[in-house]
Protein backbone atom coordinates (compact mmCIF):
# COMPACT_ATOMS: atom_id res chain seq x y z
CA UNK A 1 0.00 0.00 0.00
CA UNK A 2 1.46 3.35 -0.98
CA UNK A 3 -1.35 5.73 -0.06
CA UNK A 4 -3.53 6.74 2.83
CA UNK A 5 -6.77 4.79 3.13
CA UNK A 6 -9.98 5.57 4.99
CA UNK A 7 -12.17 2.63 5.93
CA UNK A 8 -15.65 2.77 7.49
CA UNK A 9 -16.59 0.44 10.36
CA UNK A 10 -19.45 -1.90 9.46
CA UNK A 11 -22.31 -2.83 11.85
CA UNK A 12 -20.84 -6.32 12.34
CA UNK A 13 -17.55 -4.76 13.49
CA UNK A 14 -19.15 -2.37 15.95
CA UNK A 15 -17.95 -2.67 19.52
CA UNK A 16 -14.64 -4.42 18.93
CA UNK A 17 -11.28 -2.97 19.97
CA UNK A 18 -9.37 -0.95 17.40
CA UNK A 19 -6.35 -3.28 17.53
CA UNK A 20 -8.63 -6.27 16.91
CA UNK A 21 -10.24 -4.41 14.00
CA UNK A 22 -6.77 -4.02 12.47
CA UNK A 23 -5.98 -7.70 13.09
CA UNK A 24 -9.14 -8.68 11.18
CA UNK A 25 -8.70 -6.20 8.33
CA UNK A 26 -4.91 -6.04 8.04
CA UNK A 27 -3.61 -9.40 9.32
CA UNK A 28 -0.23 -8.74 7.68
CA UNK A 29 0.39 -5.69 9.92
CA UNK A 30 2.58 -6.68 12.91
CA UNK A 31 1.33 -5.65 16.34
CA UNK A 32 4.53 -3.69 17.05
CA UNK A 33 4.16 -1.71 13.83
CA UNK A 34 0.50 -0.93 14.62
CA UNK A 35 1.46 0.22 18.12
CA UNK A 36 3.97 2.65 16.65
CA UNK A 37 1.44 3.99 14.13
CA UNK A 38 -1.04 4.59 16.97
CA UNK A 39 1.60 6.11 19.23
CA UNK A 40 2.70 8.59 16.57
CA UNK A 41 -0.86 9.55 15.62
CA UNK A 42 -0.71 8.16 12.09
CA UNK A 43 -3.82 6.07 12.70
CA UNK A 44 -6.87 8.20 13.44
CA UNK A 45 -10.54 7.53 14.13
CA UNK A 46 -12.91 10.24 12.94
CA UNK A 47 -9.92 12.53 12.62
CA UNK A 48 -8.72 12.03 16.21
CA UNK A 49 -5.81 10.12 17.71
CA UNK A 50 -6.76 6.72 19.06
CA UNK A 51 -5.49 3.88 21.23
CA UNK A 52 -5.48 0.18 20.51
CA UNK A 53 -8.02 -0.58 23.25
CA UNK A 54 -10.52 2.04 22.02
CA UNK A 55 -13.82 0.55 20.82
CA UNK A 56 -14.98 1.34 17.28
CA UNK A 57 -18.59 1.94 16.31
CA UNK A 58 -20.69 1.64 13.17
CA UNK A 59 -19.83 4.42 10.72
CA UNK A 60 -16.52 5.36 12.35
CA UNK A 61 -13.94 6.39 9.75
CA UNK A 62 -10.49 4.93 10.33
CA UNK A 63 -7.47 6.52 8.68
CA UNK A 64 -4.82 3.97 7.67
CA UNK A 65 -1.44 5.43 6.68
CA UNK A 66 0.76 3.87 3.97
CA UNK A 67 1.81 0.44 5.12
CA UNK A 68 4.85 -0.32 2.95
CA UNK A 69 6.78 -1.51 6.00
CA UNK A 70 4.27 -4.29 6.48
CA UNK A 71 4.69 -5.88 3.04
CA UNK A 72 6.63 -8.83 4.38
CA UNK A 73 3.75 -10.91 5.58
CA UNK A 74 4.35 -13.17 8.56
CA UNK A 75 3.38 -16.78 8.18
CA UNK A 76 -0.36 -17.04 8.77
CA UNK A 77 -2.06 -19.60 10.99
CA UNK A 78 -2.14 -23.15 9.70
CA UNK A 79 -5.52 -23.99 8.11
CA UNK A 80 -7.75 -26.25 10.19
CA UNK A 81 -7.63 -29.89 9.17
CA UNK A 82 -10.74 -32.12 9.02
CA UNK A 83 -9.98 -33.65 12.43
CA UNK A 84 -9.79 -30.23 14.09
CA UNK A 85 -13.04 -29.15 12.46
CA UNK A 86 -14.76 -32.30 13.64
CA UNK A 87 -13.30 -31.88 17.13
CA UNK A 88 -14.85 -28.43 17.71
CA UNK A 89 -18.16 -29.48 16.12
CA UNK A 90 -18.44 -32.39 18.55
CA UNK A 91 -18.18 -29.91 21.44
CA UNK A 92 -21.36 -28.05 20.42
CA UNK A 93 -24.19 -28.30 22.95
CA UNK A 94 -26.48 -25.63 21.53
CA UNK A 95 -26.48 -23.08 18.74
CA UNK A 96 -28.74 -20.52 17.16
CA UNK A 97 -28.19 -17.34 15.13
CA UNK A 98 -26.61 -15.49 18.11
CA UNK A 99 -24.97 -18.02 20.41
CA UNK A 100 -23.00 -21.26 20.36
CA UNK A 101 -22.46 -23.20 23.60
CA UNK A 102 -19.61 -25.70 23.82
CA UNK A 103 -18.61 -28.43 26.25
CA UNK A 104 -14.90 -27.69 26.42
CA UNK A 105 -12.76 -30.71 27.25
CA UNK A 106 -10.05 -30.52 29.92
CA UNK A 107 -6.56 -29.77 28.65
CA UNK A 108 -7.68 -27.51 25.79
CA UNK A 109 -6.80 -23.84 26.25
CA UNK A 110 -9.43 -21.23 25.40
CA UNK A 111 -6.91 -18.79 23.88
CA UNK A 112 -3.39 -19.01 22.53
CA UNK A 113 -0.28 -17.96 24.39
CA UNK A 114 3.39 -18.74 24.71
CA UNK A 115 3.85 -22.26 23.38
CA UNK A 116 0.08 -22.81 22.92
CA UNK A 117 -0.82 -23.46 19.29
CA UNK A 118 -4.06 -25.39 19.73
CA UNK A 119 -6.93 -23.63 21.49
CA UNK A 120 -10.66 -22.99 21.20
CA UNK A 121 -10.17 -19.55 19.61
CA UNK A 122 -8.17 -21.10 16.78
CA UNK A 123 -10.84 -23.76 16.17
CA UNK A 124 -13.83 -21.38 16.12
CA UNK A 125 -13.67 -20.64 12.34
CA UNK A 126 -14.92 -24.22 11.84
CA UNK A 127 -18.24 -23.06 13.36
CA UNK A 128 -18.58 -20.07 11.05
CA UNK A 129 -21.91 -19.86 9.23
CA UNK A 130 -22.06 -18.09 5.89
CA UNK A 131 -18.79 -17.16 4.23
CA UNK A 132 -19.56 -13.46 4.70
CA UNK A 133 -19.90 -13.94 8.48
CA UNK A 134 -17.04 -13.48 10.89
CA UNK A 135 -16.02 -16.50 12.98
CA UNK A 136 -17.69 -16.78 16.40
CA UNK A 137 -15.95 -14.83 19.15
CA UNK A 138 -15.13 -15.53 22.78
CA UNK A 139 -17.03 -13.67 25.52
CA UNK A 140 -15.65 -15.41 28.65
CA UNK A 141 -12.96 -17.90 29.65
CA UNK A 142 -12.35 -21.22 31.37
CA UNK A 143 -9.00 -22.43 32.69
CA UNK A 144 -7.18 -24.80 30.34
CA UNK A 145 -7.69 -27.76 32.68
CA UNK A 146 -11.31 -26.89 33.58
CA UNK A 147 -13.97 -28.53 31.44
CA UNK A 148 -17.57 -27.61 30.72
CA UNK A 149 -19.87 -24.93 29.37
CA UNK A 150 -18.21 -22.23 27.28
CA UNK A 151 -20.36 -19.72 25.39
CA UNK A 152 -19.28 -17.88 22.24
CA UNK A 153 -21.08 -15.17 20.27
CA UNK A 154 -21.86 -15.42 16.57
CA UNK A 155 -22.08 -11.70 15.87
CA UNK A 156 -21.00 -8.36 17.32
CA UNK A 157 -24.34 -7.38 18.96
CA UNK A 158 -24.50 -10.76 20.70
CA UNK A 159 -20.89 -10.40 21.82
CA UNK A 160 -21.63 -7.00 23.37
CA UNK A 161 -24.75 -8.31 25.13
CA UNK A 162 -23.04 -11.42 26.52
CA UNK A 163 -19.89 -9.57 27.55
CA UNK A 164 -22.10 -7.11 29.41
CA UNK A 165 -24.02 -9.92 31.11
CA UNK A 166 -20.81 -11.52 32.43
CA UNK A 167 -19.53 -8.14 33.56
CA UNK A 168 -22.81 -7.25 35.29
CA UNK A 169 -22.96 -10.68 36.98
CA UNK A 170 -26.36 -11.51 35.47
CA UNK A 171 -24.98 -14.90 34.36
CA UNK A 172 -25.37 -17.72 36.88
CA UNK A 173 -22.61 -20.31 36.88
CA UNK A 174 -22.59 -23.69 38.62
CA UNK A 175 -19.41 -25.75 38.81
CA UNK A 176 -18.92 -29.28 40.12
CA UNK A 177 -15.72 -30.28 41.87
CA UNK A 178 -14.31 -33.17 43.83
CA UNK A 179 -12.28 -31.92 46.78
CA UNK A 180 -10.17 -33.38 49.55
CA UNK A 181 -12.06 -33.70 52.82
CA UNK A 182 -15.51 -32.37 53.71
CA UNK A 183 -16.05 -28.63 54.34
CA UNK A 184 -17.82 -27.61 57.52
CA UNK A 185 -20.44 -26.23 57.42
CA UNK A 186 -21.81 -28.15 54.45
CA UNK A 187 -22.82 -24.99 52.60
CA UNK A 188 -21.81 -21.38 52.76
CA UNK A 189 -19.82 -18.58 51.21
CA UNK A 190 -16.08 -18.13 50.80
CA UNK A 191 -15.23 -14.44 50.79
CA UNK A 192 -11.48 -13.88 50.40
CA UNK A 193 -9.68 -11.28 48.24
CA UNK A 194 -7.46 -12.69 45.51
CA UNK A 195 -4.37 -11.23 43.85
CA UNK A 196 -1.38 -12.37 41.81
CA UNK A 197 1.53 -13.70 43.82
CA UNK A 198 4.70 -11.66 44.02
CA UNK A 199 6.67 -14.89 43.68
CA UNK A 200 8.53 -16.06 40.63
CA UNK A 201 6.00 -18.59 39.36
CA UNK A 202 3.79 -17.63 36.46
CA UNK A 203 0.22 -16.63 37.23
CA UNK A 204 -0.08 -18.04 40.70
CA UNK A 205 -3.00 -16.45 42.53
CA UNK A 206 -3.16 -16.09 46.30
CA UNK A 207 -5.57 -14.90 48.96
CA UNK A 208 -4.34 -11.46 50.01
CA UNK A 209 -5.73 -8.55 52.01
CA UNK A 210 -4.67 -6.27 49.16
CA UNK A 211 -6.34 -8.41 46.49
CA UNK A 212 -9.58 -7.86 44.60
CA UNK A 213 -12.82 -8.94 46.31
CA UNK A 214 -13.72 -12.54 45.46
CA UNK A 215 -16.79 -14.51 46.56
CA UNK A 216 -17.63 -18.17 45.92
CA UNK A 217 -20.76 -19.99 47.08
CA UNK A 218 -20.45 -23.69 47.84
CA UNK A 219 -22.66 -26.61 48.81
CA UNK A 220 -21.63 -30.17 49.65
CA UNK A 221 -23.67 -32.50 47.45
CA UNK A 222 -22.29 -35.82 48.72
CA UNK A 223 -19.21 -37.21 50.44
CA UNK A 224 -17.27 -40.43 50.78
CA UNK A 225 -16.49 -40.73 54.47
CA UNK A 226 -14.34 -37.80 55.46
CA UNK A 227 -11.88 -38.28 52.59
CA UNK A 228 -13.52 -36.72 49.51
CA UNK A 229 -16.60 -34.63 48.84
CA UNK A 230 -18.48 -33.48 45.79
CA UNK A 231 -19.16 -29.76 45.81
CA UNK A 232 -21.43 -27.53 43.77
CA UNK A 233 -19.89 -24.07 43.45
CA UNK A 234 -21.06 -20.75 42.11
CA UNK A 235 -18.51 -17.94 41.68
CA UNK A 236 -20.19 -14.59 42.34
CA UNK A 237 -17.08 -12.79 41.12
CA UNK A 238 -14.82 -13.93 38.30
CA UNK A 239 -11.21 -13.68 39.44
CA UNK A 240 -8.49 -15.76 37.79
CA UNK A 241 -8.38 -19.29 39.30
CA UNK A 242 -10.84 -18.07 41.95
CA UNK A 243 -12.53 -21.39 42.77
CA UNK A 244 -9.22 -23.25 42.91
CA UNK A 245 -7.59 -20.65 45.17
CA UNK A 246 -10.62 -20.41 47.48
CA UNK A 247 -10.91 -24.16 48.02
CA UNK A 248 -7.19 -24.54 48.69
CA UNK A 249 -7.46 -21.58 51.08
CA UNK A 250 -10.09 -23.30 53.23
CA UNK A 251 -8.09 -26.52 53.29
CA UNK A 252 -10.09 -28.50 50.70
CA UNK A 253 -8.10 -28.41 47.43
CA UNK A 254 -9.63 -29.77 44.25
CA UNK A 255 -8.49 -33.26 43.31
CA UNK A 256 -5.87 -33.07 40.59
CA UNK A 257 -5.03 -29.43 41.29
CA UNK A 258 -1.31 -29.80 41.92
CA UNK A 259 -0.80 -26.09 41.27
CA UNK A 260 -2.76 -25.02 44.35
CA UNK A 261 -3.12 -28.22 46.35
CA UNK A 262 0.22 -29.95 45.82
CA UNK A 263 0.32 -33.49 47.20
CA UNK A 264 -2.95 -32.84 49.08
CA UNK A 265 -4.76 -32.86 45.73
CA UNK A 266 -4.10 -36.58 45.22
CA UNK A 267 -6.47 -39.33 46.30
CA UNK A 268 -5.75 -43.01 45.82
CA UNK A 269 -5.77 -44.16 42.22
CA UNK A 270 -8.16 -41.46 40.99
CA UNK A 271 -7.09 -39.47 37.94
CA UNK A 272 -4.63 -36.68 38.62
CA UNK A 273 -6.40 -34.45 36.11
CA UNK A 274 -8.20 -31.43 37.56
CA UNK A 275 -11.65 -32.37 38.89
CA UNK A 276 -13.39 -29.04 38.17
CA UNK A 277 -16.24 -28.81 35.67
CA UNK A 278 -18.49 -25.96 34.52
CA UNK A 279 -21.70 -27.96 34.77
CA UNK A 280 -24.31 -25.29 34.06
CA UNK A 281 -24.53 -21.72 32.83
CA UNK A 282 -27.66 -19.59 32.82
CA UNK A 283 -27.49 -16.30 30.91
CA UNK A 284 -29.72 -13.60 29.38
CA UNK A 285 -30.03 -14.55 25.72
CA UNK A 286 -29.22 -11.65 23.32
CA UNK A 287 -32.53 -12.35 21.57
CA UNK A 288 -34.55 -12.21 24.79
CA UNK A 289 -35.36 -14.50 27.66
CA UNK A 290 -32.95 -16.68 29.61
CA UNK A 291 -31.12 -19.73 28.35
CA UNK A 292 -29.62 -22.44 30.59
CA UNK A 293 -26.97 -24.78 29.20
CA UNK A 294 -25.72 -27.89 30.98
CA UNK A 295 -22.71 -30.02 30.13
CA UNK A 296 -21.94 -33.67 30.91
CA UNK A 297 -18.87 -34.53 32.97
CA UNK A 298 -15.61 -35.37 31.15
CA UNK A 299 -14.57 -39.03 31.20
CA UNK A 300 -12.02 -38.76 34.02
CA UNK A 301 -14.53 -37.06 36.33
CA UNK A 302 -17.29 -39.50 35.39
CA UNK A 303 -15.01 -42.38 36.35
CA UNK A 304 -14.17 -40.73 39.69
CA UNK A 305 -17.84 -40.03 40.44
CA UNK A 306 -18.73 -43.64 39.67
CA UNK A 307 -15.90 -44.95 41.84
CA UNK A 308 -17.01 -42.79 44.78
CA UNK A 309 -20.70 -43.61 44.34
CA UNK A 310 -21.82 -40.09 43.41
CA UNK A 311 -24.73 -39.63 40.99
CA UNK A 312 -24.70 -36.15 39.39
CA UNK A 313 -27.60 -36.85 37.04
CA UNK A 314 -29.97 -37.01 39.99
CA UNK A 315 -29.35 -33.34 40.88
CA UNK A 316 -31.62 -30.63 39.50
CA UNK A 317 -30.69 -27.17 40.86
CA UNK A 318 -28.16 -27.41 43.70
CA UNK A 319 -28.59 -23.74 44.60
CA UNK A 320 -32.38 -23.55 44.56
CA UNK A 321 -33.35 -21.48 47.59
CA UNK A 322 -29.72 -20.75 48.38
CA UNK A 323 -29.18 -17.45 50.29
CA UNK A 324 -27.54 -15.50 47.49
Question: Which are the catalytic amino acids?
Answer: 143
The C-alpha atoms of residue 316 and residue 312 are separated, in whole angstroms, by: 9
Nearby residues of 27 by Cβ (< 8 Å), 6 or more positions away: 76
Say if residues 88 and 136 touch (Cβ distance below 8 Å): no
The C-alpha atoms of residue 113 and residue 179 are separated, in whole angstroms, by: 29
98: which DSSP letter?
Answer: S
Of 51, 285, 69, nearest to 165 by C-alpha is 285
Of 263, 230, 260, nearest to 247 by C-alpha is 260
The C-alpha atoms of residue 127 and residue 154 are separated, in whole angstroms, by: 9
Please give the C-alpha separations between residue 275 and each of 40, 48, 105, 207, 304, in angstroms, as whole numbers.
49, 50, 12, 21, 9
3-class DSSP state for residue 146? coil
The C-alpha atoms of residue 72 and residue 58 are separated, in whole angstroms, by: 31
The C-alpha atoms of residue 135 and residue 129 are separated, in whole angstroms, by: 8
Say if residues 154 and 161 touch (Cβ distance below 8 Å): no
Amino acid sequence: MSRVQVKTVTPDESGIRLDRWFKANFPELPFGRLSKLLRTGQVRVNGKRAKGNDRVGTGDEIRIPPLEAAKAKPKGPRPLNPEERQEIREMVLFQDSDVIALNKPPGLAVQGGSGTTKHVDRLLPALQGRKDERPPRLVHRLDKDTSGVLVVARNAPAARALTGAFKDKTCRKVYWALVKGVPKPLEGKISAPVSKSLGGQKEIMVVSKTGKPAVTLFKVMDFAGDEVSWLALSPVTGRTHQIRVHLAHIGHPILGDGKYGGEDSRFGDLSQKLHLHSAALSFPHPGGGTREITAALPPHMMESFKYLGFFPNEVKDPFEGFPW
